[in-house]
Structure 1
């Protein structure tokens, strides 16, 4: 009898559990699962929104790999990633070391450096568009004060990608806060023991701090790879409306992958082609993430070995 009553109570608890998580389940199905499946189907169709979609099979993917702008947008995105991700990690780590200092008002500094990460992307893009303006921008004005004639940042194809890489450092406050969490997780007695042994500052950093921060570094690297394939707002606001037929700036040197995808979907209304681009871009970022994930056994250090022998004690 007790088992029967307990079984009913468990079933009731289970029903309530599903009831409480049902908003998330409904939201996931409506706004994540359904769009993903729909985009996969649309990638095999020709659809301009106005007319009924027609099945074209692999035509969108075949055309994709013969599209020069597809390769251009991929190159721009990969080059941006190759510079923006390492610089973001380096400056984020350096900033976190400063924010980890025990000085007066440190919490205020942490808040101030983190704030840029939560400001609207459109607002940030508008500010940076003014800063990089070649005629009346703040950056060229500051350079002129020391006798340097600044370049046409957003108008010169040789400088436009550099512009976006510099702009990417605006958000390192968010990266620094994550690194800060990793720094504060490192046991203090390791530093005390190292000091007793006579280890210098750089020795403590290279032998203790950096190895024990590699899990955090690994996470940041994965997020950076995923995020680099989602650059859109800044490119759209700063050069998305002019400079080339595709909206990629001079000679399409600012044509990021997501910007080109947007142009195909909402300017050319080629939804099938845009969906094919989305799946190919997602697959490439997934492969890059898997490569990084598989490499972690060689360079990511944990406090202790796990059962599989992966990771090493720092």
Structure 2
């Protein structure tokens, strides 16, 4: 018995060491630095709650960045999930050229995010972009897209939907795994297609929906590359570090996200203590959101199961 336990701990040791070194220590160090003034050039100086006080009451741009990030969480994540699930349902029912359509919807997800954003900004260029050029042929004056504060985030939403191929493949695999016998039984009970989806399909693929939602929320809370590149390309200017702070959020503060502002504070202004405090709050918000989601998902699956059983 003791030998078996020793063998188990020996096999777990590499994973435990990796967890401690690459997750545990950085997490503890980040929490410590969040209570200090630290710029990499001088030793950290303890400042107590000053970084958190500035974060919650004195930072003039944190509110806009947080609201933009919340928009991506509440809008981008559900739209991507619904779009991927809808395409998956269509592909399950379509037999002819199914492989072609799967490839067509999946390929965009293989494009690097920076290249995809640059291409989208070019396509939606208000002056010379192909989209507005085609609209002018029909007598329609196209909008400013990425140069319009009201349309900048919806334009990125279109990009997110276009690149949802990896999520679509996951849903497609889950849909193909739903037992056909359950559909046949539901049909014999008089259930139409919407009721079959509600009481057969959705409860069966609920773990996949939950997985997609959790990973989507985590990605949206860290939304950085697409918004940063879109701002710089649409403005016609580029910059890193401190220069990125001046370009942040074009047009008119419509695209700065929480992680962008954290990057500017940490690696632009070298306020690493404040950036660490922002990272701690982001970690806590993500943990709370996922905990609430996991708790709610149990009630949903229980409710769906009861309806299906009845």
Query: Normalising by the residue count of structure 2, what TM-score does the alignment of the two structures yield?
Result: 0.85
| Deviations 1:14-39, CA, capped at 9 Å, x for gaps | 57625xx62x4444333322222221
Aligned pair in 2 of structure 1 residues 93, 40: CA closer, same or farther (>3 Å)?
Answer: same
Give the direction of change, closer, same or farther, for the CA distance of 1:138–1:227 in structure 2 (3 Å limit): same
Cα deviation, residue 108, structure 1 = 4.4
Q: 2:202 maps to which residue? A: 210
| 1:233-268 Cα distance to aligned partner (Å, 9 max, x none) | 111211154797361112211011111111111111
Alignment pair present for 1:116 and 2:108? yes
Note closer, same or farther for the CA distance 1:43–1:312 as it changes in structure 2 (3 Å cut).
Answer: farther
**Matched residues in 2 for 1:32 and 1:216: separation?**
26
Q: In the aligned structure 2, how far is the partner of 1:26 from the partner of 1:120?
A: 32
Distance 1:108 1:304, change over 3 A: same
Contact 2:231 2:247 in 1 (8 A): no
> Which one has a bigger Cα radius of gyration?
1
In structure 1, the partner of 2:51 is 60
Q: Any idea what the Cα deviations from partners look like across 1:61-120, whole Å, max 9, x if unmatched?
A: 000012131111111111222211221121111111122236244344334422332332
In the superposition, the TM-score normalised over structure 1's length comes to 0.84
Query: Matched residues in 2 for 1:103 and 1:261: separation?
Result: 48
Q: Distance in 2 between the 1:87 and 1:185 partners?
A: 23
Residue deviations 1:160-204 (CA, integer Å, cap 9, x gap): 121222221122212222222321232111112233344433332
Aligned equivalents of 2:28 and 2:52: distance in 1? 17
Q: Separation in 1 of the partners of 2:283 and 2:309? A: 34
Residue 138 of structure 1 and its aligned partner are, at CA, apart by 2.7
Q: Is the 8 A contact 2:228 2:256 kept in 1?
A: no
Q: Residue 299 of structure 2: SS of its match in structure 1?
A: helix
Deviations 1:200-233 (A, max 9, x none): 3333223322333333222222222211101111
Q: How far apart, in 1, do the equivalents of 2:308 and 2:193 lie? A: 23
* Superposition misfits of 4+ residues, deviation over 6 angstroms: 302-305
Partner of 2:270: 269
CA deviation map 1:274-297 (0-9, x unaligned): 111111122122222222222223
Higher percent of residues as helix: 2
- What does residue range 167-206 of structure 1 map to in structure 2 within 5 Å? 167-206=159-198
Alignment-derived partner of residue 235 in structure 2: none
Contact 2:199 2:304 in 1 (8 A): no
1:3 maps to what in 2? none
Report the number of matched residues: 300
Contact 1:215 1:301 in 2 (8 A): no
1: CA distance, partners of 2:275 / 2:134 = 41
Measured in 1, the distance between the counterparts of 2:85 and 2:118 equals 27
Among 48, 52, 59, which residue is 2:39 paired with? 48
CA distance in 1, matches of 2:16, 2:298: 35
Structure 2: gaps of 5 or more residues: 233-237
Question: Cα RMSD between the aligned structures?
Answer: 2.7
CA deviations on 1:114-172 (whole Å, 9 max, x unpaired) are: 23323322222222221222222232223223322122222221221212222211222
Write the distance in 1 (CA, Å) between the matches of 2:295 and 2:179.
27
Separation in 2, partners of 1:235, 1:28:
31
Q: Which moved more, 1:177-186 or 1:39-48?
A: 177-186
- Structure 1: runs of 5 or more not aligned: 1-5, 306-310
